[in-house]
């Protein structure tokens, strides 16, 4: 007895054109990083790691209230770039200070900016090309001219000493910077943990 399968029309085979995959979204963990700084030294260390991993042309936008640690973070970035950190101060009156290290660093403070006209007169956009790194305090006052691809860093008070810090990348360049920063900062934490472990072992012996 013949099977009915042989009488069924065969479905035409589709030509193989390779897998049609939609682009994978970048996971939130790759673009956002939350950490807690327990001291001024930790904030400074984070800035140094950022400075060491910069490749040139990045924009770092800083947000947070007075005393949150924005200038301290820029001081660490300057040190990581090989510029003298002692020269870094809040450029509230000059608006923009330039420092020379491994890469040129423009330290910008927009605290006193109160209009689009005042923002345009700073010449800030001129720093968004070439190898200069721009670190901008009170960046919320300059959002209209900031590059789409930037590393946003928001600092907020938790206690008198502790700070909550959120780093958020907004494009491919800043995402790569964030990845390098997380890796470098993780190395510092691992080294510190190893030292503590060795000290405990020495004390206990």
**CATH number assigned to the domain comprising residue 170:** 3.40.50.300
In this structure, are residues 145 and 119 in contact, taking their beta carbons and an 8 Å threshold? yes
Q: Are 146 and 136 in contact (CB under 8 A)?
A: yes
pLDDT of residue 27: 55
Does residue 14 belong to any structural domain of this protein? Answer: no
Is residue 82 one of the residues assigned to a domain? yes
Residue 46 belongs to some domain of the structure = yes
106 in any annotated domain:
yes
Its domain, for residue 178, covers 29-190
Structural domain includes residue 20: no
pLDDT for residue 26 = 46
Residue 12 lies in a domain: no
What is the reported pLDDT for 86? Answer: 77
CA atoms within 13 A on the CB side of 138: 17
Low-confidence ranges of the chain (pLDDT < 70): 1-28, 90-93, 189-205
Q: Around 82, how many Cα atoms within 13 Å sit in the side-chain half-sphere?
A: 8
Q: Is residue 163 part of a domain?
A: yes
Structure confidence at residue 175 (pLDDT): 97
124 found inside a domain: yes
Structure-block tokens of residue 180: 């390098």
Question: Count of domains in the chain?
Answer: 1
């Amino acid at each position: 007895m013949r099977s009915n399968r042989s009488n069924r029309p065969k479905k035409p085979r589709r030509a193989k054109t390779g897998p049609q995959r939609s682009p994978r979204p970048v996971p939130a963990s790759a673009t956002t990083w939350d950490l807690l700084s327990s001291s001024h030294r930790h904030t400074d260390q984070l800035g140094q790691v950022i400075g060491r991993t910069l490749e040139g042309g990045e924009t770092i936008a800083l947000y947070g209230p007075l005393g949150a640690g924005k200038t301290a973070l820029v001081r660490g970035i300057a040190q990581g770039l090989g510029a003298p950190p002692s020269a870094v101060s809040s450029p509230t009156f000059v608006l923009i200070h330039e420092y020379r290290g491994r890469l040129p660093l423009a330290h910008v403070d927009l605290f006193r900016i109160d209009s689009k006209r005042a923002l345009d007169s700073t010449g800030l956009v001129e720093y968004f090309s070439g190898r200069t790194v721009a670190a901008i305090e009170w960046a919320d006052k300059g959002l209209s001219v900031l590059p789409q691809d930037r590393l946003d860093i928001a600092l907020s008070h938790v206690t008198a000493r502790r700070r909550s810090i959120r780093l958020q990348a907004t494009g491919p360049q800043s995402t790569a910077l964030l990845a390098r920063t997380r890796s470098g900062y993780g190395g510092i934490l691992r080294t510190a943990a190893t030292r503590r472990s060795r000290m405990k072992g020495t004390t206990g012996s």
